[in-house]
Amino acid sequence: MISQFRRYADSWIAKGFFLLMAVSFVGWGISGDLFRLMGPPAWIAKVGSQTIEIAAFQAEYQRAMAQETRNLPSGQEATPDLRRRVGRQVLERMIAQAAIGKELQDLRIVTPDESLATTVRAMPAFKGSDGQFNRTVFATVLQQNGYTEGRFMAQLRADIAQRQLISTITGSVVAPDAEVKPLYASEFEKRSADIAVFPLSAAPVPAAADEAALKRWYENHPDSYTIPEYRRIRAIELSPQSLASEITVTDAELHTAYDEHKADYVTREKRSAQVISVQEEAKAVALAAKWSAGADWTAMQAAASADGAAAIIQDDALEVQFPDPDLAKAVFSAPADAVSAPVHGQLGWFVVKVTKIAAGSVTGFDQAKDGLQTRIAASKAADIMYERANKLDQLLGNGTGLDDLPSELGIAGVAGTLDAKGDTQAGEPAPIPGPAELKAALIAAAFQARQGDPAQLTEVPTPSTGGSAYYALTLESVIPPGRKPYDAVMAEVAEDWAMDQRRRSQDQTATAMMTEVQGGASFSGAARLAGVMPRLSPLVTRSTPDAGIPGELQRVLFGMKKGETTMVETPDGFVVGQLTEIVTPDAAVDKAGYEQAREAITRSLSNDVATVFVDAVRARAKPQINQANFDSVVQPR
């Protein structure tokens, strides 16, 4: 049998069979090793041939979460819903950027190195105290925001190219007159009304209320006479203030710090100016003459637009913030409220009118001394606090009570009863030592704590001192909210009741006057019979507040017909108003206002077009999302 099997093994059929078996076993082994080596996919999303890797998404997500959690109350952690929402926003932004990046690559749109460098140098965040680009400031800002220089420059290069593409798409968008006219007519329409004001202070003094009326008022307004929840806490603080007795700052240190940061105590002059920029000298001369003859800024804007010039307002600007050196020199040498002669600069011709001058100043050593003292003491305290905080944390972790902590650690103790606003039962601010940020964090923590929770050391950033501080607290007892006894608030109840009587009286008087006017009486006659002097309000628009007309009346004025009368209630009383005048804006006269409305609609339309374009590019890229990897970053177990 064996010899027969050997004969079959030598045949070409058997050799083929064994070869197939060998290949199969080898393939199984290799493929198993390959799958083990490859592991699960390491990408969050795929956009065409590009992938958004877990590490890149995680870095952007953590940066976004850091920004979100800064706005949360001290000690509160981000909820799963917040983490998921921020993660989805970051991923969608990265997918859109990748899709647009693919579009840029297909269109061969690139950002030249010169444009990139110019953009970086112009960013205010990277400028030093002299207003110029500062390499040290640049590196510090990137580090604080979690960027490497290479990564930041790559992202900025992509952003510039994307803006170039989007601006090309939206550059031809212009709002049609059919959309501009209704908005212009609505926003620039002006209205005025006859007004009669009935203040509570002018109401007749009511007769004294009897005991039954006051008690009835007290029972009907329980929420007006409540006692808030109070909490009794015991806490310790470690801060520059608690360590003050251990820290000395010499006069020499103060002078050295002042000299090192002298630029911080120099406030440079700032100016606001109205500037007309034009390429031709003759037009500049003509515009300057018109302006000098008394034309206001609105008229000059219209004249500049007609001549193909630009009318620009620069508010509270440093000299280095003006784009043309010759223009800057002219602005900072011109007197206030005077129209300059035409100035020839590198970018054309300019006519300037300085509208405000904020003179520069220097803070002397004596004025800066207290602030320097605080900064230096905080810097010295930071070194001490780091070591002390570690010891405190270890002691508290081992179960040491707040009363048993060693006094040589430089801590300050505080105990007392306070409400959620930080006030004592006497209505005074609780005497909590330390910087304001530490006080706020401690009060918030007091109303998040539970009785029996062990004290935990918590660090609080304190920008007011240029450093940080620490606290730990325990909740001793809770006084639940309640109602103040009637006898304790009798005077307050009587005052509230009397004010309500005044409000009722003025309500009746104002209502009677409005009824008279609606019945055909003249507004001024009805007002005088009611004992008030009517007045005409200024002309107002829908969106511009004016001290001459109550906001409550202005809001309803634009829904009324001419001659219609209404009444509104204000915090101080009641106002009766009758619409007397409607001024319809004239686009032919107010070209600047009409163009302002056109620009607003154009910006809105441009944003809509850009959104549609980005959505279309994203859809064309057909992104794929790895939900498991997304969840592993956003909702780690």
Listed residues 359, 390, 423: the one ending a domain: 359
What is the reported pLDDT for 530? 94
- The boundaries of the domain holding residue 347 are 269-359
Residue-wise pLDDT tens digits, 210-225: 999 999 999 999 889 9
Backbone angle region of 15, left / alpha / beta, with phi > 0 → left and psi within -120 to 50 → alpha:
alpha
Confidence of residue 235 (pLDDT cuts 50, 70, 90): very high
Residues 503, 562, single domain; the answer is yes
Listed residues 330, 359, 388: the one ending a domain: 359
Q: Let me know how long the chain is.
A: 637
- Residue 173 tokens read as 């968008």
Residues 308, 414, single domain; the answer is no
Mean pLDDT, range 64-89, rounded to an integer: 78
- CATH code of residue 326: 3.10.50.40
Residue-wise pLDDT tens digits, 359-392: 888 888 888 888 888 778 777 877 788 888 889 9
Residue-wise pLDDT tens digits, 329-347: 999 999 999 999 999 988 7
What is the reported pLDDT for 637? 56
Residues 325, 438, single domain; the answer is no
pLDDT beyond 70 at 24: no
Please report whether residue 180 resides in a domain.
Answer: no
Please report whether residue 604 resides in a domain.
Answer: no
Residues 50, 93, single domain; the answer is yes
What is the reported pLDDT for 33? 41
Residue-wise pLDDT tens digits, 256-292: 888 888 878 888 889 999 999 998 999 999 999 999 9
Domain count, the chain: 5
Residues 374, 237, single domain; the answer is yes
Residues 399, 433, single domain; the answer is yes
pLDDT beyond 60 at 14: no
Q: Which amino acid, residue 637?
A: R
Please report whether residue 185 resides in a domain.
Answer: no
Q: Read out DSSP for 506-545?
A: HHHHHHHHHHHHHTT--HHHHHHHTT---EEPPPB-SS--
Residues 95, 139, single domain; the answer is yes
Residues 102, 234, single domain; the answer is no
Residues 284, 327, single domain; the answer is yes
* Stronger pLDDT, 463 or 394, i.e. the higher one: 394
Q: Are 87 and 170 in contact (CB under 8 A)?
A: no
Please report whether residue 605 resides in a domain.
Answer: no
What is the reported pLDDT for 129? 67
Mean pLDDT, range 49-66, rounded to an integer: 84
Residues 372, 469, single domain; the answer is yes
What is the reported pLDDT for 565? 97
Q: How far apart are CA 278 and CA 304, in angstroms?
A: 8
Residues 338, 438, single domain; the answer is no
Residues 517, 562, single domain; the answer is yes
Please report whether residue 309 resides in a domain.
Answer: yes
How big is the CA angle at 372 (ends 369 and 373), to the nearest 5 degrees?
85
Please report whether residue 611 resides in a domain.
Answer: no
pLDDT beyond 50 at 37: no
Q: Average pLDDT over the chain, rounded to whole?
A: 85
Q: Which amino acid, residue 353?
A: K
Please report whether residue 603 resides in a domain.
Answer: no
Residue-wise pLDDT tens digits, 482-515: 999 999 999 999 999 999 999 999 999 999 999 9
Please report whether residue 334 resides in a domain.
Answer: yes
Listed residues 440, 455, 482: the one ending a domain: 482
C-alpha 381 chain-centroid distance: 32
